[in-house]
Structure 1
């Protein structure tokens, strides 16, 4: 089950790579960030941001994700780190990112953060015919009738 739900998570994130991200233990609200994915990396994703962003300092972080069809939900823990590998920046750079940085890849405000993933709780919301019937008729719901849940190491 957990490998299946893990694969569903990566597919959903690739389809809509927007998350809410915040520092663990901070009272500041989480902020929307657009993940940059690398097919060869299954335990990290990246964010382009500015050096004055509240997450620029890195550290323990949490991210929340909802798929665009609202059938998959995830809460992800990990660590934000400044990515210093220029090859990573070059690989992930695209026109959508370039639009935000007047100086291009050498803009002094540009910062690439890597989110190293630790683990996640992932829920799927796919009730199927049986689950929908139970909801419509008021029958007692059981775990799994509306979808799946897994705690996974990413």
Structure 2
């Protein structure tokens, strides 16, 4: 049990590290019949259970609520499905903390655009897959042999 918890923690930490390198996710509201959409997550390495999005008040996720975000690492060797709750972020210090020229380009009125809003994604749980295959697993895949789960990478279900 201890080894499994350590592995899950290691995989979760890797997810945060990879998201820091490429913070793009697909996000949608649970129960909505609208498609998920790409968003750029604003990450804080010290905030291990939340991240943020700048958006506008007419965006399909603006009403908030229960949500799912899907993430694929740049190297396509880590995948995550993250479940949580979207809530409007109203703290000016958080809104200002992540503001950048790149963000400003999306809002005609800049930081004072009346349509600007920030959403906080509070993580509840996630399912994460690492796709690092062993050398044996890679050989089996190339030759059409059956790959054992232990040869295909690691998997974790984590509560956050």
Q: TM-score range by the shorter chain?
A: over 0.9
Q: Give the alignment's Cα RMSD to 1 decimal.
A: 1.0
Aligned residue number for residue 3 of structure 1: 9
- Equivalent residue in structure 2 for 1:16, among 17, 22, 33: 22
Tell me, in whole angstroms, the C-alpha distance in 2 between the residues paired with 1:39 and 1:74. 18
> Which residue is equivalent to 2:48?
42
| Structure 1 runs not aligned, ≥5 long | none
Three-state SS of the structure 2 residue aligned to 1:68 is coil
Q: Following the alignment from structure 2 to structure 1, what is the Cα–Cα distance between the partners of residues 150 and 57?
A: 44
Q: What is the distance in 2 between the residues matched to 1:118 and 1:54?
A: 21
Deviation at 1:133, TM superposition (A): 1.8
Runs of at least 5 residues in structure 2 that lack an aligned partner in the other structure: 1-6
Provide the rounded CA distance (Å) in 2 between the counterparts of 1:48 and 1:131: 41
Aligned mate of 2:74, from 63, 68, 78: 68
Paired residue for 1:135? Answer: 141
Q: Shift in Å at residue 100 of structure 1?
A: 1.3
Could you tell me which residue of structure 2 aligns to residue 29 of structure 1? 35
Number of aligned pairs? 154
Partner of 2:61: 55
Q: Distance in 2 between matches of 1:61 and 1:41?
A: 18
Distance in structure 2 (CA, Å) of the matches to 1:2 and 1:83: 29
Residue 85 of structure 1 deviates from its aligned partner by 0.4
Matched with 1:109 is 115
The TM-score normalised by the length of structure 2 is 0.93
Q: d(CA) in 2 for partners of 1:30 and 1:111?
A: 18
